[in-house]
Structure 1
Amino acid sequence: GEDDVHFTDSPFHLVVESGETIRDDDAVFVTNDGEALCVAFACSPLIENGINRGTTVSFRDISARKEAQNEALQASKLASVGQLAAGIAHEINTPTQYIGDNLRFLGEAHRDLAAVLDAYRKLARAAGRAGVLGESVAAAEAAAEEVDLEYLLREIPAATDQSLGGVERGARIVLAMKEFSHPGARDKTAADLNRAIENTLMVCRNEWKHVADVDTDLDPALPPVICLPDELNQVFLNLIINAAHAIDEAGGGAGEDGKGRITIATRGDEDWVEIRVSDTGGGIPDEIGEHVFDPFFTTKEVGKGTGQGLSICRDVVVEKHAGRIFFESVPGKGTAFVVRLPVNGQDATSEAA
């Protein structure tokens, strides 16, 4: 590949030339089948009778260590985002509350003023019928017509309600961000996965809103699950964003607006819960299906994916929650990723294959 190192520029050649030992605790070897292997190695000269006859190389696989480091980095990032979100929530919530309270006051005040204005208008009509205050009544009616009073009485409440709706939506987004990214406890706790999915959808809406419509079929009777909520939030985030990217890479969808469709469903299954994230993207080709959960495996362009997303998902679901994650895919039609989790948070009951 373009990043391969030629022998003349490699550590092995330098050892031959200099006779010195070279060590590297963070290197990548490429195997014959093209796979990258993270290693720590030492390369030393092979001296016989004072003559450098070649080199010896010793190395060890550090993939597990690298994966642990990446996981720790991811956790650190989530913790930082959580702290940032908490600070943002604190800063935004106070002015948002002021705006919301003032809009509610304006809405109530408008209703009161409209009632008073209606009483004055009745008084003006009565004065007109009695033939008194003719000039004043005419001036009042002209002023009402000039400002289009009927339009204001109709549109001010609508504008206030729309503004209040926008403020409430903003408050929900901030709360969703706070709940999604709040650094979780190390111990498992009962969590509402339906709410976690709704929060995740709101947090990552900008990733999917231009390429897909989202349908949710969330089981209202879904039991709370003993889990690490913040880590499952990351799983849901990865699956939803992957679905959006799959649709985008497939050129959109068959909808009238050119969008694809993401469907998220939950259901209970005795001692298990199941979360299914489906998309109408291009599907997963058979030849790469067995590699999608491998660390660092990605089909995306350089800079658009690290190949860690689904690997992290598998680690969270299988290793940390004794669950299962798998996919069903039809090339050209789409893919569904399925996550199954034990309700009690541990593999106390074996699941039928």
Structure 2
Amino acid sequence: MSRAGRAAPPQAAPATADAAAVAELRRRLAARDKVIAVLKRRVRERDHSAASPLATLQHNVALGRVVAMKTRELSEERHELQRALTELGRTQAALLQAQKMESVGQLAAGIAHEINTPAQYVRDNVAFVRKGMAAADEVLAAALAVVEAARGCGGLEAPVEAFEAAVRRTRFDYVRRQVPEALEQSLEGLDRISRIVGAMKQFSHPSAGEKERVDLRPLVETAVTVARNEWKYVAQMEQDFAEDVPEVSCLRDEIGQVLLNLVVNAAHAISDSLVPGQRDKGRIAISVRRFGDRHVDIRVADDGPGIPEAIRTRVFDPFFTTKPVGKGTGQGLAMAYSTVVDKHGGALFFETGAGPGTTFVVRLPIEATGAGP
């Protein structure tokens, strides 16, 4: 389910519960098998007893009914066991993927630092070359003026013709026009790398489990930057921040994770609705507004296909996902709900209708409540 950290115990608990359920089912199946074996043995013993044929027949009919009933129960419990085993397998695969992504997250800060260092000195060098080109262009303009003035002067025809031939051969006029633009594009790309690296470092930096006053604008912008690779090919991104939004007391990194999940989910929802040649890109709109006097709403809206009515009640369930294994763990929205509601005393809900589009709303209290840390 596209709508759907370090704490291992919360992730392991569901798998432990599933394993216990499977063990209980196995025990009950073994007990059923023993009961059926005993009943069958009694039928065989009755066949060889000295009781009257009528009594034997009546007893056998009664035992046959019991055996049939127990067999049906056994069959149902076998199916239940199979379903439990299948669900356990999916849960284990989801946990493995979650642990892998957790490891990637822990490495993100170090990777960001390693990228930032060479990117920074490359940017400095490109900026230096841009300044150097400006100076060189000034000198070249003066040189071209001298060449133009020397044209037709006695004894200078050959050097002037050689200079003009070199200009034509090297396509100097084209290079002179294009180099400044190439340098500007290079600097823009390097600035983008720096913003991405900065967002990754900020995103991976823990908030020590303590609530702090947070400006939501950079928090949203960081989540959008980190998730850029998920949405840039499928959607146009719009951001709208009201001017009167105050800072909010929250767990900065955990709310950042909530926003990241919602942006990624919106991108995946839109991706599922794209049709080449008809609908090449969708739209994601993020807005931040006050809600009354005590809350702030962060709304993440997409124009994807919406949430089917049949699964709307399960959207926030742990491990519920419509994605294949490896594409989603079904934990994103469940963890987001726990973060917003349990830890912040806020609300997380969605608005969707019969038509396309879904809006998830994160409603946070401006001041810290008694919920959470």
The question of a shared fold, defined as TM-score above 0.5 by the shorter chain, is answered with: yes
Q: Which residue of 2 aligns with 1:218?
A: 241
Unaligned runs of 5+ in 1: 20-28, 37-65, 349-353
Per the alignment, in what secondary structure is the counterpart of residue 307 of structure 1?
A: coil
* Alpha-carbon distance in structure 2 between the residues aligned to 1:81 and 1:15: 46
2:295 touches 2:364 (CA, 8 Å); kept in 1? yes
2:108 touches 2:201 (CA, 8 Å); kept in 1? yes
After superposition, the Cα gap between the structure-2 partners of 1:257 and 1:112, relative to the gap in structure 1 and judged at 3 Å, is farther
Q: Which residue of 1 aligns with 2:281?
A: 259
TM-score for both structures, normalised by structure 2 = 0.70
Shift of 1:124: 1.7
Please give the per-residue CA displacement for 1:75-122, whole angstroms capped at 9, x wherever unaligned: 9965x5454222112212221111111101111111111111111121
| Alignment partner of 1:124 is 2:147 | yes
1:254 touches 1:260 (CA, 8 Å); kept in 2? no
Percent identity for Structure 1 against Structure 2 = 46
* Alpha-carbon distance in structure 1 between the residues aligned to 2:215 and 2:283: 24
Q: Which residue of 1 aligns with 2:29?
A: 13
Q: Which residue of 2 aligns with 1:185?
A: 208
After superposition, the Cα gap between the structure-2 partners of 1:237 and 1:31, relative to the gap in structure 1 and judged at 3 Å, is farther
Please give the per-residue CA displacement for 1:259-281, whole angstroms capped at 9, x wherever unaligned: 22221111123332110011112
After superposition, the Cα gap between the structure-2 partners of 1:31 and 1:228, relative to the gap in structure 1 and judged at 3 Å, is farther
Q: Which residue of 1 aligns with 2:351?
A: 328
Q: Which residue of 2 aligns with 1:283?
A: 306
After superposition, the Cα gap between the structure-2 partners of 1:76 and 1:333, relative to the gap in structure 1 and judged at 3 Å, is closer
Higher normalized helix content (fraction of residues): 2
Shift of 1:256: 5.4
* Alpha-carbon distance in structure 1 between the residues aligned to 2:114 and 2:310: 50
Structure with higher RCO (Cα < 8 A, 6+ apart) = 2
1:82 touches 1:178 (CA, 8 Å); kept in 2? no
- Amino acid paired to 2:190: V
* Alpha-carbon distance in structure 2 between the residues aligned to 1:82 and 1:282: 30
2:316 touches 2:334 (CA, 8 Å); kept in 1? yes
After superposition, the Cα gap between the structure-2 partners of 1:320 and 1:76, relative to the gap in structure 1 and judged at 3 Å, is farther
2:98 touches 2:329 (CA, 8 Å); kept in 1? no
Q: Which residue of 1 aligns with 2:107?
A: 84
* Alpha-carbon distance in structure 2 between the residues aligned to 1:128 and 1:289: 81
- Amino acid paired to 1:266: V
Q: Which residue of 2 aligns with 1:313?
A: 336
Q: Indicate the larger mover: 283-292 or 262-271.
A: 283-292
After superposition, the Cα gap between the structure-2 partners of 1:253 and 1:238, relative to the gap in structure 1 and judged at 3 Å, is farther
After superposition, the Cα gap between the structure-2 partners of 1:103 and 1:303, relative to the gap in structure 1 and judged at 3 Å, is closer
Per the alignment, in what secondary structure is the counterpart of residue 340 of structure 1?
A: strand
- Amino acid paired to 2:177: R
Paired residues for 1:197-212 under 5 Å: 197-212=220-235
* Alpha-carbon distance in structure 2 between the residues aligned to 1:88 and 1:298: 30
- Amino acid paired to 2:317: D
Q: Rg: which structure is higher? A: 2
- Amino acid paired to 2:29: H
* Alpha-carbon distance in structure 2 between the residues aligned to 1:238 and 1:274: 16
* Alpha-carbon distance in structure 2 between the residues aligned to 1:305 and 1:86: 23
2:350 touches 2:360 (CA, 8 Å); kept in 1? yes
Unaligned runs of 5+ in 2: 1-17, 36-76, 85-90
| Aligned length in residues | 299
* Alpha-carbon distance in structure 2 between the residues aligned to 1:6 and 1:343: 45
Per the alignment, in what secondary structure is the counterpart of residue 10 of structure 1?
A: helix
| Alignment partner of 1:343 is 2:366 | yes
Higher normalized strand content (fraction of residues): 1
* Alpha-carbon distance in structure 2 between the residues aligned to 1:256 and 1:347: 50
| Superposition CA RMSD, Å | 3.5
* Alpha-carbon distance in structure 1 between the residues aligned to 2:349 and 2:256: 17
Q: Indicate the larger mover: 114-123 or 84-93.
A: 84-93
After superposition, the Cα gap between the structure-2 partners of 1:296 and 1:86, relative to the gap in structure 1 and judged at 3 Å, is closer
After superposition, the Cα gap between the structure-2 partners of 1:226 and 1:77, relative to the gap in structure 1 and judged at 3 Å, is farther
- Amino acid paired to 2:194: A
